[in-house]
Structure formats: structure tokens, C-alpha cells
Amino acid sequence: MADQDLFARVYPFEDKKPLCYAQQAIETSSRYIPAKVAPQLETPKTQWSRGGRESTEPPEPNARRDAENTSDTVSHLELRFSGVPRTSSGLVFGTDPTCDIILPKVSGISKRHFALTFKRKFPDGFPRLIVRDLGSSFGTVVTYNNRGNESRSRFDWIIAGFSIPNDATEIVVQPHPDLKLQVVVARHDISSPVYIGNVAWFCQGAAAAENLVYDLDLQEGPETERNTGAHTPVENRILLSLGRIAKGGFGVVSRHWNVSTAEEYARKKPADRKFDRRAWEREIDIMKTISHEHIVRLCSWDKTPVPTLYLEYMPRGNLEDEHRRARFTPDECVAILNQSLSALVYLHGLPQSVAHRDIKPENILVSHRDAHRNPDYLHVKLSGFGLSKTGSLKTFCGTMTYCPPEIHDDMPQSYTKAVDIWSLGVVILQLAYRLPDPVFGSGMRWC
């Protein structure tokens, strides 16, 4: 059975000889656990497991250690809920003698440098273990598998409770270039009453009623974590890149994770050096003024040096992706139609009406879908506002298959926002009944 009291272990990481600052910090702590057996000269080929995936290959020298079944060959700190910290700021690391873990007095390390504590400010309300810089003079660096290597002061890093930190094989805290500590978090059910109770007890601190001045205003975290809707990006946030989602003629979209808030974004930016800056800035200007439950939310943006949009991440991809995985039922098609129409009614009814002009399966994203294809649990959102426009509409644009006859006509003429309704109708027909191949022609002949 898992040790419910243990929440993490801390190890020296790449400790430089002869300094060994990390080892010094560990050995002088009351939470110090010495190595029980001598290190082996040759790493045994033990079977290691993480997340249900097993490998018979030996771990790398600094590979992830399991907090409950760690090797006894390395001395470390054992962090327990019962080892209540001195204040409600959590376990404080620094050079001051009043800290919970005292670090070597080295230039660049602050008296109260950083803390390991818990934060509850997440949508589900469950607490997660974090590293919090307490306003150190030279900042702290926290890396996840050597990613996110940026120094910050008065900043939070989530190190457990979400898939990104849970799957990281190395989480390293660096308060100084010559002092690195690897934190190995014990796996617990963060929604269990026992865990929640342990966290509450721990966060109170032994001196909660007599907190020192430096504790004030730290429990809620830095101002940078608060998200009040679309805004320009906070300059000092850290986003971990999780890979490319898609690339097209209009741009490249990649997935990113905010280390302080756990929010995931789909970052959209030009794919090449040559791009239509006015079109990109128009998309930003339109999206930052709209808000609807069936339109993808613009979380933040940059206009310089390259226009960049940070959109809410939609884990199930677009209609085409989801339809390929499991065909939409007729009832689901009706739900998609209703939800998309509600978004178009909103856009077309704005004081300065917005025409989307590029409705197609790739621009309708799926937020939720029931495994049993129950339409009541299906939620879609419009995206892809790169061709959107306010005012008069004359330019030919969009995707041929979904364009209405008035845009197909050879003679240039103006058209209205009703083109979006036609395009959406074609999308629904495609999902429900499939469409003729484009080789059969266009316009009425194709219909």
C-alpha cells in the first residue's frame, strides 16, 4: 500500500565536486535520509515501470526515481505531510537559519529563496504540489526533462497533478547554477479525502498564527497566474512546447502548456517569414472582441515581432479528425448544426457584424464527445477566423467545396454573411450523407 504520508523526495542532481552544494543542503536537514547501501559499480538491469509502460532497459544515471520505491544508494530528503513546515508558505529553502531546508551561504542564493507548497487554484479545486520562488534576487529555474530552462522570481511551477509534470522523468529545481535538486513526487489520488486532508494540515504550517512578514500574500501565488480572459501575454510566463498540431498555408499551430496555471494553448503563428501582417492583425482584432460558448476563445496574443495567437486547446481536434475516428450519428449532426448556428447568429448579430467566410470541417473543433456518441455530451466550437471580415464583402475566399454559388460566379459581385449559412449546410450534409467528388464539376452541376 502507498505511503499516504510521503509526498516527495529530493535528491542532489549533477552535484559539482568539490562544491557539492546540493549534498550539503541535504545532509544538514532534519529530513535527511542517508544511503542505506553502497552504490553499485554497475547499474542492475532492473525492470522499471512508469504509467503502466514497462521497460527492461536500465534507467539513465539521472532517470526518474519512484518516490516510494527509490534506490537506497543515494542519500536524499524525505518530505512528509506529518513534517509540518514552520510557516504556511510551505517548506522554505534558503540560507536563513529559520528556513525548513537550509541552503549553503553562496552568493546568488537568497535568505528565503523558494518553497515547496501546494496550490488549490485550479478549475477542479484539487491541490497540486508546486515550486514557488519567494521573490529571490536572482530567481529560480525549474526544468521538466530539461525543458523550460528559464529563470523567474515570484513565480510558480506546477510539478504534480497534471499529465505533463506526472510524465516528466526529471523535474529539477535550480536556485543557483551550482546547486540543483531533483524532486521526485509520490503518486497519490489528489481527489481522495485523505490526500486533501493531509494537504490542508500541511499548508496551515506550525506557525500559521505567527507568520513572518515574508509569508504575506504568497499563499495565493503571483499576480501573473490570474487569467481574466483575453489579454496580451504576461511577459514572464513559461510555456512548454508539446509539439505541432497542424500546418497549413495560413500558419502553423502547436500545443503549449503553462507551467504556472496548467492551461493548455494552441499557439497559431505564420508558417513562413513572408505573411500578410494585416490579415493576421485583423484576425486578432476580431477574436479579442468576441466571446461565445461555441467559438474558440482567444486567451492572449502578440502582434510583435510576429503576430501570434494563443487559443484554448481543443483536445479532440476538428470535425474531420473526429468523424474519421467514429462517424457522427444523425443526432450528433443535428447537435453540430445547432451549436454552430448559435455561433453564427452571435457573429452576424454583433453591432459590427462578422462574417466567418471559411466554414469547413477543419474549422469546427470538438471540445467534448461522449464515447457512446450521445449528442447531449457533444460540444463544438468555431475556429479559423483568418478570413473573417467586418463590413462589405467582395473578395473571393474560402474553400471551394463549401463556397456558395455567388462566390463561385465568374462575375465579381458583393455577397453577404449568408455565405456562412450555406457553408455550414454543406458541412452538415457532408457529415451526414457524404458529398459528391469534386471531379463531377461545380455549382448546380455538382449539386
**pLDDT tens by residue, 410-423:** 555 666 888 899 89
**pLDDT tens by residue, 255-294:** 999 999 999 999 999 988 888 898 899 889 999 999 999 9
CATH of the domain at 430: 1.10.510.10
Sign of CA dihedral 335, 336, 339, 344: negative
pLDDT, averaged across the chain: 83
Q: Which pTM was predicted?
A: 0.80
Single-letter amino acid, residue 377? Y
In a domain, 50, yes or no: no
Residues 264 and 150 in one domain: no
Residue 254: exposed, middle, or buried by beta-carbon count in 10 A (0-12, 13-18, 19+)?
A: middle
Residues 171 and 98 in one domain: yes
CATH of the domain at 160: 2.60.200.20
Residues 12 and 157 in one domain: yes
d(CA 169, CA 59) in angstroms, rounded, equals 10
Residues 117 and 265 in one domain: no
Domain that holds residue 420: 319-446
Cis peptide before 305 (omega within 30 of 0): yes
pLDDT of residue 438: 58
In this predicted structure, the answer to whether residue 442 has a pLDDT above a threshold of 80 is no
pLDDT of residue 146: 95
Q: How many domains does the structure of the chain reveal?
A: 3
pLDDT of residue 206: 56
**pLDDT tens by residue, 55-80:** 333 334 444 455 555 556 789 999 99
In this predicted structure, the answer to whether residue 219 has a pLDDT above a threshold of 50 is no
| Residues tagged active-site | 358
d(CA 87, CA 314) in angstroms, rounded, equals 40
Give the contacts of 152 (CB within 8 A, at least 6 positions apart): 133, 139, 140, 141, 236, 238
**pLDDT tens by residue, 300-325:** 999 999 999 999 999 999 999 999 99
Which of 174, 190, 225 is where one domain is finished?
225
Residues 182 and 126 in one domain: yes
In this predicted structure, the answer to whether residue 401 has a pLDDT above a threshold of 90 is no
d(CA 241, CA 251) in angstroms, rounded, equals 17
Angle at 117 between CA 111 and CA 120, to 5 degrees: 140
d(CA 238, CA 244) in angstroms, rounded, equals 18
Q: Please report the beta strands in 62-193, taking only residues with DSSP state E, as ranges in sequence order.
A: 76-80, 91-94, 101-102, 114-119, 128-133, 140-144, 151-152, 156-158, 171-176, 179-185
CATH of the domain at 266: 3.30.200.20
In a domain, 45, yes or no: no
In a domain, 293, yes or no: yes
Q: Give me the mean pLDDT over the 96-124 stretch.
A: 95
pLDDT of residue 346: 96
Cell numbers 534576487 correspond to 137
Residues 324 and 210 in one domain: no
In a domain, 115, yes or no: yes
Residues 72 and 208 in one domain: yes
Q: How large is the angle between the packed helices 419-433 and 330-348, nearest 10 degrees? A: 170
pLDDT of residue 65: 54
Residues 221 and 341 in one domain: no
> Which one has a higher pLDDT value, 204 or 111?
111
pLDDT above 90 coverage of the chain, percent: 63
pLDDT classification of 205: cutoffs 50, 70, 90: confident
In a domain, 53, yes or no: no
Residues 250 and 303 in one domain: yes
In a domain, 42, yes or no: no
Residues 32 and 179 in one domain: yes
Residues 163 and 272 in one domain: no
CB 301 within 8 A of CB 310: yes
Residues 63 and 208 in one domain: yes
pLDDT of residue 41: 46
In a domain, 139, yes or no: yes
